[in-house]
Amino acid sequence: MKKNQLSRPLTRRDFIKAGIYGACAVCLAGNAGFPGKTGTAYAASPKKGFVNPRPSPWFIPLSNAGVQCTLCPMQCRIPRGERGKCRVRENRDGKAYTLAYGNPVLVQMDPVERKPFFHVMPGTRALSVSTAGCPLECRFCEVWDMALVSPEEVHAYDLPPEKIVAHAVSAGAGAISYAFGEPVVFFEYMTDIAVLAKKAGLLNLVHTSGYISPEPLQAITGHLDAVNVDLKGFDSGFYKTMVGGDIEPVKNTLKALKRAGVHIEITNLVIPGANDAVAQVNGMCEWIIEELGPDTPVHFARFYPLYKLTNLPPTPVATLDRIRDAAMSAGLRYVYVARVTGHKGENTFCPECGKMVIDRMGFVIEAINMKNDRCGYCAATVRGKWA
């Protein structure tokens, strides 16, 4: 290191890029209390197990007191006393119950950029909520110790929907985000929160695998403002072996959200040797352009070794650069590189004049050069939910 670099003051950008800001943000996130009925805060203590089992309407009765869950494409047939693949749908004497209602394992404030949403109220914060359970079993799951376990195995809060919304309002959040784990498994809880959130003037943001049946999706769509869908790959074989599901329901979810007018962003985790072939990426980008439109923001995220893929290296940045270039050449107008702090692919550029309209460093907004939904340089429209 040069001498003048040692004496140079630490800039805000250096501070964030070094990861110090992120560490502080994590420390602060866990210290908030939850407001009680009188508006005062109390310390919510997590307890192990589930506390609010509730009947679920998303099932079909079968013979011999069995039930079939209709919430997701797994369509689990559940004998009496057993649970579905997600671990939180249980057959109790011929009736389906959810074990995820009012029982979140995660409640924390985050920048909206962390969801990631880059075209939704930049610089604001959202209250994130998640429970245990997931119908899929990705070999690269980043929250396996929360999503791929039963509710008895984790500590959770007893927080009904009204307390979640009250906390979001008191904390100054602009939205509630159903993220980190899979929101589909706590569908009834998410729906009830979303209804109250709308009344309180909050946005409802969802980050999901998109693995949901058409009927429940239609039932909740009217309450949603933006959805980020993990399109984990663009190959049925990849989905079968690496995800434990089928790609077609995910594509159908994306098309249904588009028809309903919900703001969509897509995240694709780029895994070395698994889904990083440019030909596959080109096929995915062509499908997105044709079915969802070229203005759909797409985040190509860097893979880090986790869960059952600890034998693989992190995604080379050069691979992400190559994929970003291919996606833009295919015609996508907003292509991002995620989890590489300081990369130019974190920023938003005007699709017409090419100038930077949102300057980001990680989850932090450095500058916004827009007027409402228009580029501050050429006045071209930039798609998103900006207010």
The count of residues in the chain is 387
Dmax over CA atoms of the chain, in Å, equals 78
pLDDT digits (tens, 9 = 90+) for 319-347: 999 999 999 999 999 999 999 999 999 99
d(CA 143, CA 151): 14
* Helical spans, DSSP H, in 239-314: 247-260, 278-291
**Is 240 strand, coil or helix?**
helix
Q: What pLDDT shows up at residue 1?
A: 37
279: CB partners within 8 A, 6+ apart: none
Q: How many CB atoms lie within 10 A of CB 1?
A: 5
In sequence order, what are the beta bridge partners of 106? 130
For 374, the 3-state DSSP assignment is: strand
Q: What is the mean pLDDT of each run of 10 residues along the chain (387 residues)?
A: 35 40 33 40 66 93 96 98 97 96 95 96 97 97 94 93 98 97 97 98 98 98 98 96 98 98 98 95 97 98 97 98 97 98 97 98 96 97 94
Task: Look at the alpha carbons of 317, 322, 323, 327 in this order and tell me if their dihedral is positive or negative.
Answer: positive
Task: Give the per-residue pLDDT at 48.
Answer: 82
Contacts with 237 (C-beta within 8 Å, 6 or more apart), sequence order: none
Sheet holding 348-349, edge to edge: 348-349, 356-361, 364-368
Question: What are the structural domains, with CATH classification, of the chain?
Answer: 47-98 (no CATH), 104-347 (3.20.20.70), 348-387 (no CATH)
